[in-house]
């Protein structure tokens, strides 16, 4: 019934609010209160790296890895092998999409809409974060850090896929491949820096831990568990040999 659903949502709101109160007075604020961390350019979510890189981080990852895998995996290998390896990007994109969708879904079912000024809970037809914000209100829910997830996951995937460069001779490494390699290293450096900024300035401790663990799990289930098996996209070339 509607009354029963309202009671359930009300109990969830109380639980989430209490949890948020504990978190906000815990691990995140200790760093600032002790003076170890101060506000900076990167504590503003509108900083250049966040707007033009992190917000579209998976796009950067795919745009750089697609040509890099195509060219680097071709050394001493067949086109069939390269096509098989490229399916790893499809798998990675599916993991990214699924986790991102799950994070939004969890935030919707665990949250409620609040008045911006009075902070009073709004019961009614507003049941999602998008609908709440559209009306100009505030949504509070269990917000697993998508930034922590994508920055950790993307970094791990890129590092795995750059392995072939350790075995490709200089004579094969054209300017195009070297430029892609440099760009991928630069992107990983940006991801690591922004991961640290997210850890310090944004989200609550448990949100960041869960997001990071999801990223590590996505990498582990593919590159460590599944890809070494025969029926899989396979691992990046580890040494010079013919497919």
Least confident range of 30-34, 161-165, 219-223 = 30-34
Calpha distance 227→77 (Å, rounded): 17
Which pLDDT does position 125 carry in this prediction? Answer: 77
Task: Give per-residue pLDDT as tens, 23-77.
Answer: 444 445 345 545 666 777 766 778 898 889 999 999 999 999 999 999 999 988 8
DSSP letters of the chain? -HHHHHHHHHHHHHHHHHHHHHHHTTHHHHHHHTTSS---GGGSTTSHHHHHTGGGHHHHHHHHHHHHHHHHTTTTS-HHHHHHHHHHHHHHHHHHHHHHHHHHHHHHHH-EEE-TTT--EE-SS--SHHHHHHTT-EEE-----HHHHHHHHHHHHHHHHTGGGGTS-TTT--HHHHHHHHHHHHHHHHHHHHHHHHHHHSS-HHHHHHHHHHHHHHHIIIIIIITTSSSSS-PPP-SS---
> In terms of Cα–Cα distance, which of 145, 158, 164, 154 is closest to 209?
145
- Say if pTM beats, i.e. exceeds, 0.75: yes
Q: Edge-to-edge strand order for the sheet containing 138-140?
A: 121-122, 112-114, 138-140
Catalytic residues: 147, 203
Q: Return the axis-axis angle of helices 79-110 and 146-161, rounded to nearest 10°.
A: 170
- The answer to whether residue 239 sits within a structural domain is no
* Containing structural domain, residue 100: 2-226
* Cβ-based neighbour number of residue 176 at 10 Å: 11
- The answer to whether residue 16 sits within a structural domain is yes
Which pLDDT does position 34 carry in this prediction? Answer: 57
- The answer to whether residue 126 sits within a structural domain is yes
Residue that has been written with the tokens 């096509």 in this structure: 83
CA angle 177, 49, 142 (to 5 degrees): 115
- The answer to whether residue 170 sits within a structural domain is yes
Tell me how many domains the chain contains.
Answer: 1
- The answer to whether residue 108 sits within a structural domain is yes
- The answer to whether residue 215 sits within a structural domain is yes
Which pLDDT does position 18 carry in this prediction? Answer: 42
Q: What is the mean pLDDT of residues 126-136?
A: 83
- The answer to whether residue 19 sits within a structural domain is yes
User: What is the chain's mean pLDDT, rounded?
Assistant: 83
Which pLDDT does position 239 carry in this prediction? Answer: 64
- The answer to whether residue 231 sits within a structural domain is no
| CB 151, CB 127: distance < 8 Å | no
User: Who contacts 60 (Cβ-Cβ below 8 Å, separation ≥6)?
Assistant: 53, 187
């Amino acid at each position: 019934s509607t009354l029963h659903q309202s009671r359930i949502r009300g109990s969830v709101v109380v639980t989430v609010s209490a949890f948020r109160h504990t978190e906000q007075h815990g691990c995140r604020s200790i760093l600032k209160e002790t003076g170890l961390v101060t506000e900076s350019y990167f504590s503003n979510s509108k900083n250049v790296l966040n707007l033009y890189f992190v917000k579209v981080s998976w796009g950067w990852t795919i745009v750089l890895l697609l040509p890099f895998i195509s060219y680097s995996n071709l050394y001493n290998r067949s086109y069939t092998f390269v096509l098989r390896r490229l399916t790893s990007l499809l798998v990675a994109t599916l993991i990214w999409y699924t986790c991102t969708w799950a994070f939004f879904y969890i935030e919707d079912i665990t949250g409620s809409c609040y008045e911006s000024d009075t902070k009073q809970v709004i019961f009614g037809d507003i049941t999602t974060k998008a609908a709440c914000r559209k009306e100009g209100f505030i949504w509070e829910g269990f917000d697993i850090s998508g930034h922590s997830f994508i920055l950790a996951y993307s970094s791990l995937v890129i590092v795995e896929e750059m392995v072939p460069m350790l075995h490709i001779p200089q004579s094969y490494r054209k300017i195009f491949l070297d430029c892609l390699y440099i760009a991928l290293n630069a992107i990983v450096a940006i991801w690591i820096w922004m991961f640290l900024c997210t850890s310090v300035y944004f989200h609550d401790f448990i949100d960041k831990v869960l997001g990071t663990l999801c990223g590590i799990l996505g990498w582990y289930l593919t590159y460590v568990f599944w890809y070494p098996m025969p029926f899989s996209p396979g691992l990046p070339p580890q040494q010079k040999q013919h497919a």
